[in-house]
């Protein structure tokens, strides 16, 4: 992005008019010193604060069609690149990507914004951060929305042990990412092919053998589990793909993958969360055609969400929608978000 067009102040824009949402320069870009890093974020609208957290391998940009809708409805919408992604700093140490740091970033960002309460919304990896934030700081985060990934509470078994049992001798992507350097180089060797393949194969547009294969065989490259389409469906424009590709070409994938390398570390440092629940109002939005919820173990998490999200008000799987609900089904996601957020208007 041409950073000369960006605004580097932490002031929200009062009005968000009709813009080309696929154009990154249409948004109010800001930076803040947060928890020892420089964080890039979008800041639009005025009103109760809503923080939108992207997943992997996405960026703030995955929410581009939600930002205007929420700002127009009377909310201040803040959308960061999480640490390791996009224009936000990428610390080198793997442990810099554990949940204590990711949640610390959100706490620090709120302080920089001068805000004392927020509804936090997370997709995929962002859902892990959002749930951790709601669990650890209920005084700050008064509502929780998770998209596509039903994040479990802290279990009794170390995550990699549980994932190995689920994979039954095969390799799940969280396990694949425990390797150092190899997946980083594999993904970065051709970022355009990597991203097009992942975005398509996890979506509801992929059918049959084109769909994401959740497990690979030992020694098999992870990218074999995805299919690059000849033409991309209309819900993700060529301009949008170019933005993602340009950013990941510049940054690589290591920072993003490091979150997965902290799965066991997160478990080890959160023994105090055994039995913890999220009591704030919550919402789950998923896709009925999302390959990631097909394993019985994952689908059971969706089925049992209300046992640890005790304030769960609604959970829905959108027909024909895959893992990127916010991009694949804009109107439905926006409608569900606005319905949920109405209760938080001052």
- Annotate 166-198 with DSSP letters as a single string: HHTTSEEHHHHTTSSSHHHHHHHTSHHHHHHHH
Give the sign of the dihedral formed by CA 264, CA 268, CA 274, CA 277.
negative
- How far apart are the C-alpha atoms of 223 and 200, rounded to whole Å? 12
Neighbours of 6 (CB within 10 A): 18
Whether 40 sits among the annotated catalytic residues: the reply is no
Q: What is the DSSP letter of 98?
A: S
With tokens 């690059």, the residue in question is 228
- How far apart are the C-alpha atoms of 172 and 235, rounded to whole Å? 27
Best CA proximity match to 99, nearest among 257, 260, 251, 252: 260
Point out the catalytic residue in the list 89, 124, 184, 290. 124
- How far apart are the C-alpha atoms of 145 and 147, rounded to whole Å? 7
- How far apart are the C-alpha atoms of 84 and 236, rounded to whole Å? 23
**Contact between residue 285 and residue 333 where contact means Cβ atoms under 8 Å apart:** yes
**Contact between residue 242 and residue 174 where contact means Cβ atoms under 8 Å apart:** no
Angle made by CA atoms 38, 120, 74, in degrees to the nearest 5: 100
Q: What is the DSSP letter of 26?
A: G
**Contact between residue 113 and residue 48 where contact means Cβ atoms under 8 Å apart:** no
Point out the catalytic residue in the list 29, 40, 123, 323. 323
Whether 123 sits among the annotated catalytic residues: the reply is no
Catalytic residue numbers, as ranges: 124, 323
């Amino acid at each position: 992005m041409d950073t000369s067009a960006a605004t580097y102040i932490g002031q929200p824009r009062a009005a968000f008019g009709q813009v080309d949402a696929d154009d990154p320069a249409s948004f109010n870009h800001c930076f803040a010193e947060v928890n020892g890093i420089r964080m890039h974020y979008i800041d639009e609208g005025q009103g109760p604060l809503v923080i939108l957290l992207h997943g992997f391998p996405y960026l703030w940009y995955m929410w581009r069609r939600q930002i205007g809708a929420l700002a127009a409805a009377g909310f201040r919408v803040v959308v960061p690149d999480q640490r390791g992604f996009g224009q936000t700093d990428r610390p080198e140490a793997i442990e810099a990507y554990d949940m204590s740091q990711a949640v610390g970033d959100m706490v620090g960002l709120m302080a920089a914004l001068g805000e004392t309460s927020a509804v936090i919304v997370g997709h995929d990896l962002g859902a892990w951060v959002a749930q951790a934030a709601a669990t650890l700081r209920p005084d700050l985060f008064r509502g929780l929305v998770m998209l596509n990934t039903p994040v479990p509470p802290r279990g009794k078994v170390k995550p990699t042990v549980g994932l190995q049992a689920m994979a039954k001798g095969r390799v799940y992507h969280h396990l694949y990412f425990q390797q150092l350097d190899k997946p980083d180089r594999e993904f970065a060797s051709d970022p355009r092919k990597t991203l097009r393949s992942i975005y398509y194969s996890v979506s509801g547009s992929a059918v049959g053998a084109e769909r994401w294969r959740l497990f690979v065989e030992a020694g098999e490259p992870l990218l074999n589990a995805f299919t690059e389409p000849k033409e991309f469906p209309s819900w993700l424009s060529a301009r949008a793909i170019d933005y993602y590709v340009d950013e990941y070409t510049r940054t690589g994938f290591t920072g993003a993958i490091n979150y997965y390398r902290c799965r066991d570390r997160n478990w080890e440092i959160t023994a105090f969360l055994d039995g913890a629940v999220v009591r704030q109002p919550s919402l789950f939005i998923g896709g009925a055609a999302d390959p990631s919820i097909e394993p019985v173990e994952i689908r059971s998490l969706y089925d049992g969400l209300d046992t640890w999200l005790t304030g769960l008000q609604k959970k829905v799987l959108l027909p024909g929608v895959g893992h990127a609900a916010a991009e694949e089904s804009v109107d439905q996601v926006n409608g569900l978000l606005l319905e949920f957020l109405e209760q938080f208007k001052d």
